[in-house]
A = this chain, B = another copy of it.
Amino acid sequence: MSRFVTLKDVAEKAGTTVGTVSYVLNNKKGRYISDELRQRVLLAASELNYIKCNGASSLKGMDRKLIGILIPQFENQFFTRICLAAEEVFVQHGYDLIICDTFDEPEREKAIIHRLLSQRVDGIIITPTVDGAENTRIARDVGMNMVVVDRPLEGLEGYHWVTTNNYGCGFEGGRYLRGCGHRKIIYIGWKSGIADLESRETGLRDASAPDAEIYSYYAEFSPESGFAETEKALDDHPDATAVFYGFNIQAKGGVNVFRKRGLRIGEDISVMLIGSPEWAYTGSNDFSRLDMEELELGRKAASLLLDLIKKGSAEPNRVIQDCVLIEGSSVRKI
């Protein structure tokens, strides 16, 4: 297909040489160009629709102006919001983004990282899978700039990491429920194998009253599984007064159980969740929740990566962001 116009084409049309055209188009200082020639080149370039080939110039050591982002779920707004915020920062600096969905599958993650490297991106932002530490090794070996967001690289030290205070999310939620008088609480969580994520449950337990009972159920990282575990939990513990969801992707399915059973949220049953997906506060829904301010996460990660790219490298940095309690009407005071 498409025969792209090259510097040579422009040079011929303008009656000069490729070198000169390159100087003009990049308007480098430190090189004299007569106004007359400059105009001729500019005109020729625009008439021919010249578009520089980024691949070729990157061969000469120039930035590719490309960033790779890996997220585990495209349908999860938590992650798309991170991308959204990151993109805003990057485009302002002239970078394009390659956004990839690992579907939380380690092999796919590995393949994607390899392809990003072969695209010679300038940097990578990643929310890793369980095997992230191993899968990112090639990237770290070649010295690729990388910022990890949200989940950690299990078992690794000394990388750049922007994350939420996961323990704090659980703790704040627990404190709130305790303040509202709840003592029998169902926790729906995810056995991710990532300690930091699982500390959400620890936080919840630590903050709860000494006489409180926490009934934990573990679902897969999907709405359907969240639905199923919620059903099971409600069946097992009809006396529970509150349900706390550690992961909003599970909550998304789980909260449909209440409608199905005719339970009025905030009256018959109290519900709270970690994360702020739009469904949680739209229409008739008004859930109490712990907002993780994903946009801010994304911005921080992007800025950090830009710094790395500019400076070459830096001290391993760890940014931990606290969550924000948002009080809706889904938790009843008892």
CA A258 – CA B94 in complex, angstroms? 42
Q: Which residue of B lies closest to A53 (CB)?
A: B120
A39 in contact (CB, < 8 A):
no
Give the interface residue-count category, chain A: 35 or more
Q: At the interface, is chain A mostly helix, strand, loop or mixed? A: mixed
Interface string of A90-118 (1 = CB under 8 A from B): 01001011111100000010001011111
The minimal Cβ–Cβ distance linking A287 to chain B, given in whole angstroms, is 7
Q: Which residues of B contact A258 (CB under 8 A)?
A: 283-284
Question: Assuming the A-B contacts A100-B96, A283-B265, are A59 and B55 also in contact, with contact meaning beta carbons closer than 8 angstroms in the complex?
Answer: yes
The minimal Cβ–Cβ distance linking A260 to chain B, given in whole angstroms, is 10
Q: Which residue of B lies closest to A94 (CB)?
A: B115
Interface string of A116-132 (1 = CB under 8 A from B): 11111000000000000
Other than the given A66-B98, A255-B282, A283-B284, 10 more pairs (CB < 8 A) read A1-B145, A5-B142, A49-B138, A51-B138, A55-B55, A55-B120, A96-B100, A258-B284, A265-B284, A280-B283
Instruction: List the 9 closest pairs (A to B, CB-CB), nearest first.
Output: A55-B55, A279-B279, A2-B143, A284-B284, A279-B282, A283-B285, A255-B283, A99-B99, A74-B84
